[in-house]
A and B are shown apart, each in its own frame.
Chain A
């Protein structure tokens, strides 16, 4: 479903700020894979997601989605294959537009946008039903401006927008990191429900090691721009946080350093 082959990316080449963010990144996802991604600061987790999304072009290597080489495709064209939820709740929605308008924009991902109505009444009914799944009371506030919503509500809405048109790949970039624990749990719950319902191929970055073990069928650990540990199935299920820390030290020869990492066991 998704394949990254020897992807390399260096930011600010030739300057004092030169930073090799991806250094021979290889990754292959089968359809229906739900992969959690962990790693220290600057390991290249978000960079990997941005490379897939086409925020910029990679220096070397190829990216293939569902058999199609998208390496040279601009971000807005790749969007047809991808659903994205960002770390910052402000990034995924348009604050000055209504809830239903945001959803209608997402419903037209990958379609030609012409002079047809931006939203129809049939759509409104559909959105009302879908918003009920989130269980946040948003179904009664279709015409409210998204700027009025809380961070958790905005992330849940972004999640719904990302999956409204079933994406080939769902990219979640620490999408619960900015939320309080209770809201984070609720959004994560909704995430799992939606992924299971549509059997979505998913890449989820998380700073919570426990979540990384609990969710998905596969876990990868990144360090210095490539994967240093890749585990799936039964072996993954039996992991403990201390195993992950040990693996990290073995593979990288240093201690796990992440400002936000949560080690709760």
Chain B
């Protein structure tokens, strides 16, 4: 166990953490603001990358390709939203149905291959694991992802302060009250699910570029990582500020913490095949933490 190995792996972990932090902001919108558990993201976390890489392989540049990935995510969210609101399917099941359907669609997007690689030397990627060290500052992946993150947070801060954004938040906070105030809660739920999945697909497009390939399994367990970041943010940074923009920033940092912890356990000699088990354990631990804390304080169990 050479400590230098760990240190040299940290920048990569930070970059991945930031990308997953963007994804986690998408999860935050449904899980925290809308109070819905949306499993569509396990599908969209692949769709965005598939769309982005295939477009770039066909000569598109990174920016427009990422926007189309975002749009693909919006569509996936729309499907889940309509299944849930118009047809009354429970949100979790609606998400699972869309996610399952997306598996086939993702394969189609990727020309029926499970993996589509993109060569960093031949294509002009916005970010890459090769652009972490020994590149000019403006090409540094960590910096670029951080800038994208800040722009995203600024946009979301503005959006959730608008009339329609406030209506989406109200829908998650109190459905009855929202309807009594004339909010079409079906529409706000659909909009929230669309925005969430759009952001996840956008993160997926970034992640595929970072890794240099789109993979059919890219989204497996994505919801768990997203939730992990949301919950880590709450547990570790929750007391540092209540401002909405800060909270979103903390969620992104939660993604970074998640990846740093993961890197640490790998360095400690963990078999990479056991990663999913470790992920699930970490998330279960952080999900359980608020309850464990309550128990210690002697707060009544209201489960």
The reply on B169 being an interface residue by CB < 8 A is yes
Q: Mark B175-210, 1 if CB is under 8 A from A, else 0.
A: 011111111110000000000000000000000000
* Residue from the list A75, A90, A114 in contact with B162, Cβ < 8 A: A114
B162→A118 contact, CB < 8 A: yes
* Residue from the list A94, A113, A114, A116 in contact with B177, Cβ < 8 A: A94
A91→B184 contact, CB < 8 A: no
* Residue from the list A53, A74, A97, A114 in contact with B170, Cβ < 8 A: A97
The reply on B165 being an interface residue by CB < 8 A is yes
A109→B174 contact, CB < 8 A: no
Across the interface, which residues of B come within 8 angstroms of A92, CB to CB? 176-177, 180
A110 to B170, CA, bound (A): 15
A114→B166 contact, CB < 8 A: no
* Residue from the list B161, B162, B170, B184 in contact with A105, Cβ < 8 A: B170
A109→B163 contact, CB < 8 A: no
Across the interface, which residues of A come within 8 angstroms of B147, CB to CB? none
Across the interface, which residues of A come within 8 angstroms of B177, CB to CB? 91-94, 105
Size bracket of the A interface = 20 to 34
The reply on A16 being an interface residue by CB < 8 A is no
* Residue from the list B162, B176, B181, B183 in contact with A115, Cβ < 8 A: B162
- Smallest Cβ-Cβ distance to A96: which chain B residue: B173
Across the interface, which residues of A come within 8 angstroms of B185, CB to CB? 76
Across the interface, which residues of A come within 8 angstroms of B173, CB to CB? 94-97
B162→A80 contact, CB < 8 A: no
- Smallest Cβ-Cβ distance to A118: which chain B residue: B166
A171 to B82, CA, bound (A): 32
- Smallest Cβ-Cβ distance to A95: which chain B residue: B173
A53→B167 contact, CB < 8 A: no
A94→B170 contact, CB < 8 A: yes
Known: A93-B174, A95-B174. A113 touches B163 (CB 8 A): yes
Across the interface, which residues of B come within 8 angstroms of A104, CB to CB? 166
Known: A117-B161, A118-B162. A97 touches B169 (CB 8 A): yes
The reply on B100 being an interface residue by CB < 8 A is no
A25 to B72, CA, bound (A): 50
B174→A94 contact, CB < 8 A: yes
Across the interface, which residues of B come within 8 angstroms of A106, CB to CB? 181
B179→A76 contact, CB < 8 A: yes
* Interface hits, B206-229 → A, CB 8 Å: none
The reply on A86 being an interface residue by CB < 8 A is yes
Across the interface, which residues of A come within 8 angstroms of B174, CB to CB? 90-91, 93-95
A105→B176 contact, CB < 8 A: no
B166→A53 contact, CB < 8 A: no
* Residue from the list B161, B176, B180 in contact with A118, Cβ < 8 A: B161
The reply on A84 being an interface residue by CB < 8 A is yes
- Smallest Cβ-Cβ distance to A113: which chain B residue: B163
Known: A94-B170, A96-B173, A105-B170. A113 touches B179 (CB 8 A): no
A113→B183 contact, CB < 8 A: yes
Q: What's the minimum C-beta distance from A49 to chain B, rounded to whole angstroms?
A: 11
The reply on A1 being an interface residue by CB < 8 A is no
- Smallest Cβ-Cβ distance to B180: which chain A residue: A84
Across the interface, which residues of A come within 8 angstroms of B261, CB to CB? none
A115→B179 contact, CB < 8 A: no
* Interface hits, A39-97 → B, CB 8 Å: 53, 74-77, 79-80, 82, 84, 86, 90-97
A53 to B165, CA, bound (A): 25
The reply on A108 being an interface residue by CB < 8 A is yes
Across the interface, which residues of A come within 8 angstroms of B183, CB to CB? 76, 105, 113
A82 to B183, CA, bound (A): 13
Q: What's the minimum C-beta distance from A207 to chain B, rounded to whole angstroms?
A: 21
Q: What's the minimum C-beta distance from A116 to chain B, rounded to whole angstroms?
A: 5
Q: Which of B163, B164, B173, B179 has the most CB of A within 10 A?
A: B163
Q: What's the minimum C-beta distance from A169 to chain B, rounded to whole angstroms?
A: 13
A93 to B176, CA, bound (A): 9
Across the interface, which residues of A come within 8 angstroms of B178, CB to CB? 76, 94, 105
Across the interface, which residues of A come within 8 angstroms of B181, CB to CB? 79, 105-106, 108-109, 161
B164→A113 contact, CB < 8 A: yes
Q: What's the minimum C-beta distance from B256 to chain A, rounded to whole angstroms?
A: 26
A77→B182 contact, CB < 8 A: yes
Across the interface, which residues of B come within 8 angstroms of A108, CB to CB? 163, 181-182
* Besides the known contacts A79-B181, A113-B163, A113-B183, 16 further A-B residue pairs in the complex with CB atoms under 8 A apart: A53-B180, A76-B179, A80-B182, A91-B176, A92-B176, A93-B174, A94-B173, A94-B174, A95-B173, A97-B173, A105-B167, A105-B170, A105-B177, A106-B181, A116-B163, A161-B181
A selection of 21 A-B contacts at a CB cut-off of 8 Å is A75-B180, A76-B178, A76-B183, A79-B179, A79-B180, A91-B176, A91-B177, A96-B169, A96-B173, A104-B166, A105-B177, A105-B178, A111-B182, A114-B162, A115-B159, A115-B163, A115-B164, A116-B162, A117-B163, A118-B166, A119-B166
7 nearest A-B pairs in the assembled complex, by CB-CB distance = A79-B182, A94-B173, A118-B166, A113-B163, A109-B182, A94-B174, A96-B173
- A interface vs B, CB < 8 Å? 53, 74-77, 79-80, 82, 84, 86, 90-97, 101, 104-106, 108-111, 113-119, 161
